[in-house]
Structure 1
Amino acid sequence: MIRRLVSNYPISSYRAVIFFTLGVIIPLGFASKFYQGAWDWWVRDYAGDILYEIFWILLIASILPKSSPFCIACGVFSATSLIEFFQLWQPPFLIEIRSTFWWHMLLGSTFVWWDFPHYFLGCVAAWIGLRLVRSNLFFTKSP
């Protein structure tokens, strides 16, 4: 029954899996910023970077479900890397914007080289996850 439903509505099923995963990733991302416990410095500073990348890749894949997961991951990595480099620029208006919680969560506030490997890990994890979902459940080919 489920297999038949999936084969009849592959994009809707694909989006359902993405939305479920987003429902897990978003609270984990926010929780990572307030975590206190073992390795709390890493969880607060870097685990959130991995989840941030996964979030954006899943969001874009839900909007553009026929797009290549690899292309989405490369685009997200490029965009978030550009945002990271923009953190080197500290004009007063951006400092003011970044001082609010939501903009700080979206844009960050300081440039850190160690964010890049974690961005990469998040992109690779999301790319592999989307490929598995696409190839095993819904689509015949996943580039």
Structure 2
Amino acid sequence: MRSVRKSVIRKANREIKAKFSWKARAAYLIAVLVTILLGLGSRVYSSRLPEFVANHFGDALWACMIYLGLRMLWVNRQLSVALWGSLLFCFAIEFSQMYQAPWINHIRATTLGGLVLGKGFLTADLIRYTVGIVVSWALDQGCQKLAGSNTRRDNDKPLK
């Protein structure tokens, strides 16, 4: 009798987790799309924006999009996993720009390749990426607290 009750509870918990996961993934997807639009807008309308915004926000928003994308993929993991994962990814892309072989420069010459891989290494980009990711992480933490979601979904440990 007791094992039947436990299996029913486990099944209900899995269903709740699945519903939460899809809602959270949808919210992160919307955030990713909004961030992409803002980032592209910061490039297209750079002449109409303040110089500081035009010079720095595009890269920070790109890093923000990477963070949000990782959160969408890893919705049940700790926020710090996406924080460190996105920093590692962004830094790897930036350092890869030191490699200037003809085949990768051909990819970088395309619009999508240039947006994803960048063109050349800039130390300032590392700072922009870090700021974008840390701001995204802080906003994500705030949203988690506002939503009352202060535990991980997979083992009920507090988020860090």
TM-score surpassing 0.5? yes
Unaligned runs of 5+ in 2: 1-15, 152-158
CA contact (8 A) 1:33 1:45 kept: no
Aligned mates of 1:85, 1:140 — CA distance in 2: 35
Greater relative contact order structure (CA < 8 Å, 6+ sep): 1
SS at match of 1:114: helix
Q: 1:70 maps to what in 2?
A: 80
Report the alpha carbon displacement of residue 30 of structure 1 after superposing the two structures with TM: 0.9
Q: 1:11 aligns with which of 3, 6, 21?
A: 21
Percent sequence identity over matched residues? 23
Q: 1:81 maps to what in 2?
A: 91
Report the alpha carbon displacement of residue 131 of structure 1 after superposing the two structures with TM: 1.2
Q: Residue by residue, what CA displacement relative to the aligned partner does 1:39-94 show, whole Å, maximum 9, x if unpaired? A: 34x43442111111111111111121011112211111111111111111101101
Moved over 6 A (4+): none
Q: How many residues get paired?
A: 135
CA contact (8 A) 1:49 1:115 kept: yes
Q: 1:4 maps to what in 2?
A: none
Q: 1:21 maps to what in 2?
A: 31
SS at match of 1:115: helix
Q: 2:50 maps to what in 1?
A: 39
Report the alpha carbon displacement of residue 19 of structure 1 after superposing the two structures with TM: 2.6
Q: 1:134 maps to what in 2?
A: 144
Report the alpha carbon displacement of residue 132 of structure 1 after superposing the two structures with TM: 1.7
CA contact (8 A) 1:74 1:123 kept: no
Aligned mates of 2:140, 2:49 — CA distance in 1: 30
Aligned mates of 1:39, 1:110 — CA distance in 2: 24
1:92 lines up with 2:92 in the alignment: no
Aligned mates of 1:122, 1:138 — CA distance in 2: 24
Larger radius of gyration: 2
Q: 2:12 maps to what in 1?
A: none
The one-letter code matched in structure 2 to 1:67 is: R
Report the alpha carbon displacement of residue 138 of structure 1 after superposing the two structures with TM: 4.7
CA contact (8 A) 1:14 1:134 kept: no
Q: RMSD value over aligned CA atoms?
A: 1.8
User: CA 1:38 to 1:55, structure 2 compared with 1: closer, same or farther past 3 Å?
Assistant: closer
Aligned mates of 1:45, 1:93 — CA distance in 2: 28
Q: Residue by residue, what CA displacement relative to the aligned partner does 1:8-51 show, whole Å, maximum 9, x if unpaired? A: 643333233323322321111111112212434x4344211111
